[in-house]
Structure 1
């Protein structure tokens, strides 16, 4: 589905703050239950939006007066589907301004995963405003300043942003709370601060989506490989944070006597193992 026309018209300026309804006509009949889930608005309203349908047209009832001199962005993400269950390939954005100008800032990029850079579709992408001296939004605010979603090619595009610096993250938001949770795949930006402006080029380095690992490795086996070396195997690949011998404290299994360690190194061809060399 696509948007045929809107009232107020897309990209219109000086829209009255007393406007109570955004009317959107689609090219075909829409699965109505998909709209509340697919729609996000920037800036957000405190109260819930209401929807009134007539054929292919939906009236989105705005619950409060609009802010003066503000660009409003209504984004329908890829959860929007037609009456046959066919979803959008990429988000649709409708914007207008209650002031004399509309924001034209843009940020474009791509989300991928794995060493081969496989495109990741239907991933939420959030942009957080950065103050001029900010080192990062820590913790992340409760809600992002802007939201969009990746298309089938993994690409995403923010439009109508206020020009400035942003921290942009990608998130497989399974529970739709618009916050990264421990078991959700997450990607930090290739550069800490990205600038939104009207001539922004696509960020050349992709956001790399990865699953957070919150479980420590489990010891599986300790096996001697020579008179003064033994191999410690775990249930998953491990990386040595330190090679300091004093970080390891093995004991003789028969006497319980501490064993001095002279060195620790990763096991060749065994990513889930570490070799310990004793005195």
Structure 2
């Protein structure tokens, strides 16, 4: 009897231990398997008004979708044309409502384009091309304008470029007038303006960076029609090629004075500088970042003030007479002016080979006040030490860039550039240190060449033909011509050829002027990328600029 009791107790203990584990295991096994993943985008189930409705006079727009949705960036994504002014939005689990603050216009077709604002709540599937179109009259406008927008200088097709349509009048200006109809480009640069009314319109495309529907020439690339207007009475196509066309006048943004320098910062690029009423013996200056002018003190008391006039030409070839006040900050008693080494950069750089047409360039961080030409020498492997005559050297306007001309460089395959200590003395009495760099001429068989012709219907045309690196559009070589072009001694690689129609023959690309309806100078590209191999010649390329 005692043994049976012990067996009962043992069974009870075993059950007490295993029943919870069994229940837990059963609970886990009871979980239902996951269903099929939702890949469908939300669709409109009901709307007020119905799509393509006529004679709608209400002030509240409602959308109900076939599933739970979330609304993302509605203010940026929702495009309403024509504009309805201000409105109030209410978000619901399966839709939204828009209450209009003002009365809709008579005889007008409205389009509510939600673009990427609507997505389902579970899997974030975006509803594409969700639109609501309705009219306040008996008719729905049905005309269309479609096209593509690209960037003029690199042919890329940007997304979210505003394509704008304005009711035409003599005074319409895209920087002060908001468009009546507008749309934004997709990821391929394509656009479609729908449900347009017949009439005369002006048209433009620009990158509306601040989303105010107004063109800002200071920072927004643009293109526009040059005609006074388009007379829209049938569907049409219109393409654009946008580029930055900053028309702001040249002005000083900021000036900063230190013990050693005075810096004037300008708002746009400067092409050339000439100083008037400036002491030629003790005032040095240089252009920095192509838009700022830095002046240096040389043998001049910091208490002196110079009043000079700068004749400046900006990047649009506009001339300015700008008065400048040059006064260096006085040095405090505790302040110590430290002298540092005069730094410079040699091109070609370390490890780079000289091409047969290369010169050597020495670029300094500041103007050079004095230098000794024979302090710069070349040493060859044969033990030769060569100094060059003065005509072998060419300084730029600011005395901060020295070119050693190709004609005077050693003909030996390998040689060394040697610069003695104190060969160059900077404007702040800082001097250069000893510098050596091994240089080597590249074998001409390691290069290739490219040549061709620009075809134009106009006689006496001028072109700027640029060979660009395909990966970053960085200019590699440039030729100015009227038809034939040739690029010699080109390193192997992948290239693009860009042709600028130099209409005024000034040697560079000119931007347009939206106020004068003058486009930027036309840019064309060779139809495909060019892969150049060593010791290989690509000939007779034809670039047609008549298109």
Q: Deviations over 1:108-156 (max 9, x none)?
A: 111001355321211111110114xx4x623654321111111122111
Matching of residue 39 in structure 1 with residue 78 in structure 2 = yes
Alignment of 1:1-40 (within 5 A): 1=41, 3-5=43-45, 6-15=47-56, 17=57, 19-26=58-65, 29-40=68-79
Counterpart selection for 1:99 from 137, 144, 153: 137
Asked whether 1:212 is paired with 2:245, we answer: yes
Is the partner of 1:64 in helix, strand or coil?
coil
Is 1:180 matched up with 2:215? yes
Residue in structure 2 matching 1:130, options 159, 168, 180: 168
Separation (CA, whole Å) in 2 of partners of 1:240 and 1:176: 27
SS in 1 for 2:236: coil
The answer on 1:55 being equivalent to 2:89 is: no
Of 188, 201, 226, 1:166 maps to 201
Question: Which residue of 135, 143, 146 maps to 1:108?
Answer: 146
1:72 CA displacement: 2.0
d(CA) in 1 for partners of 2:220, 2:188: 21
In 1, are the aligned partners of 2:174 and 2:215 still within 8 Å (CA)? no
CA contact (8 A) 1:104 1:162 kept: yes
Residue 229 of structure 2 corresponds to residue 193 of structure 1? yes
Equivalent pairs, count: 228
**What is the root-mean-square deviation in Å for CA atoms of aligned residues?**
3.8
1:157 Cα deviation (Å)? 1.1
**d(CA) in 2 for partners of 1:106 and 1:94?**
16
Long gaps (5+) in structure 2: 1-40, 249-267, 275-286, 292-313, 319-396, 398-462, 465-476, 481-505, 508-547
Question: In the alignment, is residue 73 of structure 1 matched against residue 111 of structure 2?
Answer: yes
Residues 166 and 86 (structure 1 numbering): CA distance in 2 closer, same or farther, change over 3 Å? farther
Determine the structure 1 residue equivalent to 2:102.
64
Q: CA deviation at 1:57?
A: 1.1
- CA 1:183–1:241 in structure 2 vs 1: closer, same or farther (change >3 Å)? closer
Cα deviation digits, residues 145-193 of structure 1 (max 9, x gap): 1111111221111111111121111121111111111111222237553
Separation in 1 of the partners of 2:78 and 2:202? 22
The alpha-carbon distance between structure 1 residues 115 and 186, as it changes in their structure 2 partners (threshold 3 A), is closer
Q: CA deviation at 1:37?
A: 2.5
Deviation digits for residues 60-104 of structure 1 (CA, Å, limit 9, x no counterpart): 1122333333222222245x2535667677x64321112111111
Superposed CA offset, 1:173-222 (max 9, x none): 1111111111112222375533434x41323xx2011123452334499x
Q: Structure 2 vs 1, CA of residues 196 and 9 (structure 1 numbering), >3 Å: closer, same or farther?
A: farther
**Closer, same or farther in 2 for the Cα pair 1:29/1:218, shift >3 Å?**
farther
CA distance in 1, matches of 2:221, 2:126: 22
Could you report, residue by residue, the CA deviation over 1:23-61 in whole angstroms, capped at 9, with x for unpaired residues?
123466544241122223233334x31122222311111
Contact 2:161–2:208, Cα closer than 8 Å, also in 1: yes
> 1:247 maps to which residue?
none
Q: TM-score, normalised by structure 1?
A: 0.67
Q: Contact between 1:43 and 1:72, CA under 8 Å: does it hold in 2?
A: yes
Mapping for residues 152-163 of structure 1, pairs under 5 Å: 152-163=187-198
2:42–2:126 CA contact under 8 A, matched in 1: no
Q: For the Cα contact (< 8 Å) 1:51–1:60, is it kept in 2? A: yes
Q: In the aligned structure 2, how far is the partner of 1:218 from the partner of 1:119? A: 30
User: Which structure 2 residues correspond to residues 143-158 of structure 1 after superposition, within 5 A?
Assistant: 143-158=178-193
- Which is strand-richer, 1 or 2? 2
1:235, CA displacement in angstroms? Answer: 4.2
CA–CA distance in structure 2, aligned partners of residues 196 and 105 of structure 1: 8
Q: Secondary structure at the match of 1:37?
A: helix
The SS at the match of 1:119 is coil
